[in-house]
Amino acid sequence: MRTRPLIGITADRTMMGPHASHVSGEKYLLAAVDGAGALAFVLPALGERQRASDILEAVDGLLFTGSYSNVEPHRYGSQASETDTLHDPHRDATTLPLMRAAIDAGVPVLAICRGFQEMNVVFGGTLHQQVHAVAGYTDHRENKADALDRQYGPAHTVKLAEGGLLQQLAGNARDVQVNSLHGQGIERLGAGLVAEAYAPDGLIEAVIVARAATFALGVQWHPEWKHAENALSTAIFGAFGDACRNRMLARTPRAKHA
């Protein structure tokens, strides 16, 4: 009998030389293993080759990761992509239907950065393709020339929704410091999503699925980065891991009494 829940972690499809490959950042894997107390398995971006129902039968939770790629604009009814935008249609074809199926089936979901944007698109929301180019918003991108610790260092505060899940996980704090490494962001909030945090410029930074049967949280920042050194990140992965563990236990046949 397993003692740890199994978390599927989304992968990007990328080319390694002439070979198509499926990769997921180690920081997400370590956060799932050490932060959520789970077994981590990389979920390839194979689209319809692997049915969502079969995936959901195999896992106890799903972690939708960040990525250098962005959701294709046609997925949310927008115009053509801005110049030099990286896309991953294989990932879109995998994660978008899978996320909705997971939430409908009561499978715990944690969505980070691109995953957060995927969550908004899944529920019918739209995205700003370049937040920094929209009047009233600041530049939320990192400087890729900086060392990683600086890129992932605290960038701005987010105001937490009163009485929301994140405020509870943050020990009832009103605001917290987060990192910021994204160029895109929520334009119109998806139906059925509730904003959990806002950046100082008003950009939505976290959401929950209002009627989800279990944990279903999306955050724009990266709590997986050195998660054990940040109280809120620790709490997020702890709560996600608990939800996945509860699903595992609920699906484990009880031993028959003699």
224 is catalytic: yes
Band the pLDDT of 82: cuts 50, 70, 90: confident
195 assigned to some structural domain: yes
164 assigned to some structural domain: no
168 assigned to some structural domain: no
68 assigned to some structural domain: yes
**Per-residue model confidence as pLDDT tens digits over 173-227:** 999 999 999 999 999 999 999 999 999 999 999 999 999 999 999 999 999 999 9
Helix axis angle, 114-122 to 89-104, nearest 10°: 60
118 assigned to some structural domain: yes
139 assigned to some structural domain: no
Q: For the domain that residue 100 is a member of, what is the CATH number?
A: 3.40.50.880
| Residue tagged active-site, from 90, 113, 128, 244 | 113
Provide the number of structural domains found in the chain: 1
The residues, any chain, with a CB within 8 Å of residue 227's CB and separated by 6 or more, are 31, 34, 35, 233, 234, 236, 237
Q: Cβ(189)–Cβ(125) under 8 Å?
A: yes
141 assigned to some structural domain: no
**Per-residue model confidence as pLDDT tens digits over 104-148:** 999 999 999 999 999 999 999 999 999 999 999 999 999 999 999
| Residue tagged active-site, from 182, 222, 227, 244 | 222
How confident is the model at residue 84, as a pLDDT? 83
pTM summary value: 0.97
222 is catalytic: yes
90 is catalytic: no
Range of the domain at 83: 6-127+185-251
218 assigned to some structural domain: yes
Encode burial over 130-167: b for 16+ CB neighbours within 10 A, e otherwise: ebeeeeebbebbbeeeeeeeebbeebbbbbbbeebbbb
